[in-house]
Amino acid sequence: MTANQNHTPLPTGNDITLPWHLRLPKPLEKDFRLYFRASVAKVMPWALALVAFLIVSAMFIESRISPDVLNMSWRPRLFTLMLTGGCLVLIRKPQWRNWLHEATLVLAFAIALTGNYLGAIVEHPLAYTFFFHTPLAILMICILIRVPFYAALISSVVMIGCMIFSLQLSSGRQPFEPSTLVLVSLAFTSMSLFGQYVYERLLRQHFLSEHVLFQHRNELHSANLVLENQATVDGMTGCINRRGMESRLSHLYHKLNQNNPDAPERITLMLFDIDFFKQYNDTYGHPAGDECLKKVAGVPLGMVQSDTDFVARYGGEEFVITLTDSSFNDALVFAERMRNRVEQLGLPHSGSRVSQVVTISVGVACSDGTAEDGAQLLKMADEALYQAKGAGRNRVAMMSNQGVVEMLN
């Protein structure tokens, strides 16, 4: 990119304009509700504890004002206190949290309606204060224990309506009391709903930002996996290339030397090459040689089973198989079966001096011996392979734990 070219930054989500009604596309709206519920669940225990404290404090104040008032209010108070405890239990059960907002609204309606009930039946000069339960319940669902804006709006309208209806049923009020209560409640409601609207708008914007960034991270991770795959996989045979092999082998040895709980019990390495492969290319041509490499590589690729085992193309016609947590005897059986299966492929090889079909020679070494790292283990397997080729090829040789090369009969 030249200096005079404009740089277009990646979108962050902050440049997405939310509609005034706050609604998102259906899949995003569903995810946002889960996100909203999770954010509420973090603060809800403290909010409910505050609600419970206020209910208990109200009962204490009522007992100081008049025992007769307490005799009428303690049952509704206890009911709302039990609902508060139920909401606390709901939070502790992850499978029940889908009902979190509904339970909060039930608690808010219980607080508002019990206030209306007490305000209508209690005969006391301060009985009108019970009607303030309604704006306090609206304040609770909008500010203290937040519910989605539209649920809060509808619930607030219903609560105000119930309060006005209860005021009409109550008698003995001063002329200004009902209108004052309604105006104060409307003021509380409008401010609470406005605060909830702004809060939810900001929360939705933050959710969109995180959603967009999450998509970017996924795309980047996928791109990195593709690049890593291209960098560490041999395109022709499908095996890991030499760079990937050295990296994986080094990682396995690092865990082994650090006594990592995930470390393998041992590492067994096999190095094999195709016998007289140069003569194969000279006889049949390089395209046929490439096909031969693919078919031979397919044998060990079809035999490895563990996620930590792998097959790598070391270079040219040489391949490496790394087995973890297999005993040395099992690894030798694996090597002999692999040699036999390659021979049974029956790929014609008239240029070979050991057989009329393609064969391989294998060297095997194990980390139980003197190898302190992957490079030494590879060197030991290479020495065993050299001895196998010197002994006539088409055979398996192993480097024993004593550092002696032995041919497998």
β-strand partners of 361: 273
pLDDT in tens, 171-197: 666 667 788 889 999 998 999 999 999
β-strand partners of 221: none
Residue 205: how many other CB atoms lie within 10 Å: 15
* CA–CA dist 136, 89 (Å, integer): 23
Q: Coil, helix or strand for 398? A: strand
Q: What is the pLDDT of residue 398?
A: 93
Per the rule left: phi > 0, alpha: psi between -120 and 50, beta: everything else, 403 is left
Q: What is the pLDDT of residue 9?
A: 52
Q: What is the pLDDT of residue 108?
A: 93
* CA–CA dist 398, 384 (Å, integer): 6
Q: What is the pLDDT of residue 16?
A: 62
Summarize the confidence of residues 233-258 as an average pLDDT: 87
CATH class belonging to 242-407:
alpha beta
**Structure tokens of 215?**
């998509």
Q: What is the pLDDT of residue 1?
A: 42
User: Per-residue confidence at 2, pLDDT binned at 50, 70, 90?
Assistant: very low
User: Per-residue confidence at 290, pLDDT binned at 50, 70, 90?
Assistant: very high
Residues belonging to the chain = 409
CB 321 within 8 A of CB 306: no
State the chain's mean pLDDT as an integer.
86
Q: What is the pLDDT of residue 42?
A: 85
What is the value of pTM for the model shown?
0.52
Report domain extents, the chain: 26-214, 242-407
**Which one of 94-98, 255-259, 333-337 scores highest in mean pLDDT?**
333-337
* CA–CA dist 338, 149 (Å, integer): 67
Nearest alpha-carbon partner for 352 in 397, 387, 394, 385: 394
pLDDT in tens, 383-396: 999 999 999 999 99
**Structure tokens of 54?**
């206020």
The better pLDDT of the pair 222, 229 is held by: 222
**Which one of 10-14, 45-49, 214-218, 318-322 scores highest in mean pLDDT?**
318-322
User: Per-residue confidence at 297, pLDDT binned at 50, 70, 90?
Assistant: very high
Q: What is the pLDDT of residue 171?
A: 65
For the cut 80, the answer to whether the pLDDT of residue 19 exceeds it is no
Burial class (CB in 10 A: 0-12, 13-18, 19+), 164: middle
pLDDT in tens, 98-144: 888 889 999 999 999 999 999 888 888 888 889 999 999 999 988 88
For the cut 60, the answer to whether the pLDDT of residue 152 exceeds it is yes
**For 129, how many CA atoms within 13 A lie in the half-sphere containing its CB?**
9
For the cut 70, the answer to whether the pLDDT of residue 284 exceeds it is yes
Quick one: DSSP state of residue 13?
S
pLDDT in tens, 46-102: 999 999 999 999 899 888 888 888 888 899 999 999 999 988 888 887 778 788 888
Q: What is the pLDDT of residue 257?
A: 82
Q: What is the pLDDT of residue 3?
A: 46
Q: What is the pLDDT of residue 29?
A: 84
Phi, psi of 344 (to 5 degrees): -75, -10
For the cut 80, the answer to whether the pLDDT of residue 201 exceeds it is yes
